[in-house]
Amino acid sequence: VGVLEISGFAKYTVVGSGASDWLDQILACRIPKSGRMTLAPMLNENGKLIGDFTLANLDDNEFFIAGSGIAEEYHLRWFEQHLPESANLEVIPHRADILGLSIAGAKSRELLAKITDEDVSRDAFRFMDIREMNIGMVSCLVGRVSYTGDLGFELWMEADVQRYVLELLLREGEEFGIRLFGLRALNALRLEKNYGSWATEYRPLYGPLEAGLSPFVALNKDADFIGKDAAIQEKSDGGILRLCTFVVEAKDADVIGDEPIWFGNEVKGWVTSGGFAHNSGVSVAMGYVPKEIADEKQGWFVEILGERYPATLQTEPLFDPKGEIMRG
């Protein structure tokens, strides 16, 4: 089991009788049922990505949103600009008042079961479920999700009890070999799942189809969400680019971003992020290439420090390609 500090994510509560209808207009996803979460892309009027959130429905009049910490001020301005004057709702940024911890790994469910009286078995607490739980002697909002791509849970709590929860996890997790891990490790793990990241893979240059987020865009929902017409047009014409993942035959350096992606003898795309995937033992690069060649498995090269290295298109995640562990 590993434990990660996730307080750097932006956290918001949207509360009020008008919350659901407003979120349906602001976000491109379908609003989840009470007690459930979903990935929630946010688009501008041109149908380009300006946010990717986790949206949790706590009771239809209260929603919890987690998103990029570096984009918090931008997102708050966007929310405020699109708040209707007459709507009965409030957007509350939590900043450092709400903090978080994530546990992940094969034994993470066993650890969670030790510190709560709730039933957290597979069927009782499903993937993408969320609810308030007693964790030891305090209350936490617990979500059945993890950006690592492994079996995992996110725990959100008031700032003054985070140390208690961390110490409880470390003490009760000792029998499972619990260890701390950080954002560099998280980056390696998300690369093995082909997960994009805000400001690299997800940014206003790209549409949801190009970025691989179209499954989370509900084009057929009734709400006329911001960017809907442009997203429908992108689906119709297919966009221009596709986000792809490559395994690179690198030597002594990995990509960090903005390196050229070659196909044959021509530069056809660019790297958005990457690094060494320690669990799989390979160098990984993510980036955008034209849709016309995005299914070509061979013939790729990634340029690193002026040298071109052969690369292979990775059509499915290196870790748990079917998502069976993550959902298990």
How far, in Å, CA of 313 to CA of 237, rounded?
A: 24
Place of tokens 């978080």: 100
- Residue 163's pLDDT is 98
- Residue 247's pLDDT is 98
Kindly report the average pLDDT of the chain as a whole number. Answer: 97
Query: How does residue 282 score in pLDDT terms, banded at 50, 70 and 90?
Result: very high
pLDDT tens readout for residues 243-260: 999 999 999 999 999 999
pLDDT tens readout for residues 110-165: 999 999 999 999 999 999 999 999 999 999 999 999 999 999 999 999 999 999 99
- Residue 60's pLDDT is 86
Angle formed at CA 316 by CA 324 and CA 28, multiple of 5 degrees: 80
How far, in Å, CA of 268 to CA of 292, rounded?
A: 11
How far, in Å, CA of 200 to CA of 198, rounded?
A: 5
DSSP state of 191: H
Give which of 158, 185, 180 is closest to 169, Cα–Cα: 180
- Residue 261's pLDDT is 98
CB atoms within 10 A of CB 180: 12
φ, ψ dihedrals at 198, nearest 5°: -65, 140
Query: How does residue 178 score in pLDDT terms, banded at 50, 70 and 90?
Result: very high
- Residue 58's pLDDT is 98
- Residue 318's pLDDT is 97
How far, in Å, CA of 159 to CA of 163, rounded?
A: 8
- The sign one gets for the Cα dihedral 318, 324, 327, 328 is negative
169's tokens: 């996890």
φ, ψ dihedrals at 140, nearest 5°: -130, 150
Find the mean pLDDT for residues 193-205: 97
Query: How does residue 325 score in pLDDT terms, banded at 50, 70 and 90?
Result: very high
Q: Is 16 exposed, middle or buried (0-12, 13-18, 19+ CB in 10 A)?
A: middle
Q: Where are the alpha helices (DSSP H) in 99-179?
A: 108-115, 162-172
**What's the chain's length in residues?**
328
Strand partners, 248: 283, 311
- The sign one gets for the Cα dihedral 293, 200, 230, 31 is positive
Find the mean pLDDT for residues 34-44: 98
How far, in Å, CA of 307 to CA of 241, rounded?
A: 24
Find the mean pLDDT for residues 1-11: 98
How far, in Å, CA of 60 to CA of 17, rounded?
A: 8
How far, in Å, CA of 2 to CA of 296, rounded?
A: 36
How far, in Å, CA of 275 to CA of 12, rounded?
A: 31
Q: Is 305 exposed, middle or buried (0-12, 13-18, 19+ CB in 10 A)?
A: exposed
- Residue 85's pLDDT is 86
285's tokens: 């690069």
In the chain, the percentage of residues whose pLDDT exceeds 70 is: 100
Asked whether residue 96 carries a pLDDT value surpassing 90, the answer given is yes
Query: How does residue 87 score in pLDDT terms, banded at 50, 70 and 90?
Result: confident
Domains and CATH numbers, the chain: 2-93 (3.30.70.1400), 98-172 (3.30.1360.120), 240-328 (2.40.30.110)
pLDDT tens readout for residues 226-245: 999 999 999 999 999 999 99
- Residue 285's pLDDT is 98
Query: How does residue 270 score in pLDDT terms, banded at 50, 70 and 90?
Result: very high
List Cβ neighbours of 199 (8 Å cut-off, separation of 6 or more). 68, 70, 71
